[in-house]
Amino acid sequence: MSVRSIVRLGHPALRVPAQPVRLDRLSDVETQTLIDDMFETMLDSGGVGLAAPQLGIDLQLFVYAVIDPDHEDGIDDEDLELRALINPALEPVAGEVIYDWEGCLSIPDLRGLVPRHPAVRIHALDRHGKSLEYRAEDYEARIVQHEFDHLNGIVFLDRMRDLRSLAYSAEWEEFLTTDQDAAAQVG
Ligand SMILES: [Zn+2]
């Protein structure tokens, strides 16, 4: 496995819809290595999600980590449940949108308040081509919506309804977060 470089805002891969992963290519070493490298790159950069377009790769594929939000202090790798979703589709579950802080590995050092659906139903394949269907809520739903947007050329700035909350992470920590342990979800 290896850590790959993450493209930043301005790279065209972040602004075009990605292509579906061909199912006859899913078991190829190249695709499986890509998935392993995406996990490694995400963990190395301190993110909780990473989409293939963030590596400049035009595929509908993202990885993310499910973290119990009650265990945000001193997370080690064993507390993370890592998931890879291939050709995902999302269906919002009815409910009022929730605003919370997000950041993006492709837009380093910025945080902003982003509205998201409180829960989504996910239809996707896992890395072995098995069908997945499940519901994600709260923290996990936010990560999944952020990463899914990357497969459609959308970044969190596009989702913000008021750019006045945009802040650099140091200033965000100093002035804007009310909870010492709060962490913005970065993906
Ligand atoms: Zn992102």
Q: What is the pTM of this model?
A: 0.92
Where in the sequence numbering do the catalytic residues fall?
147
Strand partners, 107: 104
Q: pLDDT above 70 covers what percent of the chain?
A: 90
Give distance in angstroms: CA of 87 to centre of ligand 1: 17
Q: What are the domain boundaries of the chain?
A: 12-186
The 3-state DSSP class for residue 156 equals helix
- 88-119 confidence digits (pLDDT tens): 999 999 999 999 999 999 999 999 999 999 99
pLDDT of the residue at 78: 63
Confirm if 144 and 120 have CB atoms less than 8 A apart.
yes
Q: Which of the four CATH numbers 3.40.50.300, 3.90.45.10, 2.40.110.10, 3.20.20.70 does domain 12-186 have?
A: 3.90.45.10
Compute the distance between CA of residue 54 and CA of residue 5 in angstroms, rounded to an integer.
9
- The C-alpha angle 49, 79, 135, rounded to 5 degrees, equals 55
Give distance in angstroms: CA of 39 to centre of ligand 1: 14
- 133-181 confidence digits (pLDDT tens): 999 999 999 999 999 999 999 999 999 999 999 999 999 999 988 765 5
- 46-85 confidence digits (pLDDT tens): 999 999 999 999 999 999 998 765 655 555 566 678 999 9
Give distance in angstroms: CA of 104 to centre of ligand 1: 4
Confirm if 167 and 64 have CB atoms less than 8 A apart.
no
Is residue 1 very low, low, confident or very high in pLDDT (cuts 50, 70, 90)?
confident
Residue 169 is given by DSSP the state H
Residue 155 is given by DSSP the state -
Percent composition of the chain: helix, strand, coil (DSSP 3-state, to 5): 35, 30, 35
Is residue 6 very low, low, confident or very high in pLDDT (cuts 50, 70, 90)?
very high
Write phi, then psi, for 118 (nearest 5 degrees).
-70, -25
Give distance in angstroms: CA of 129 to centre of ligand 1: 25
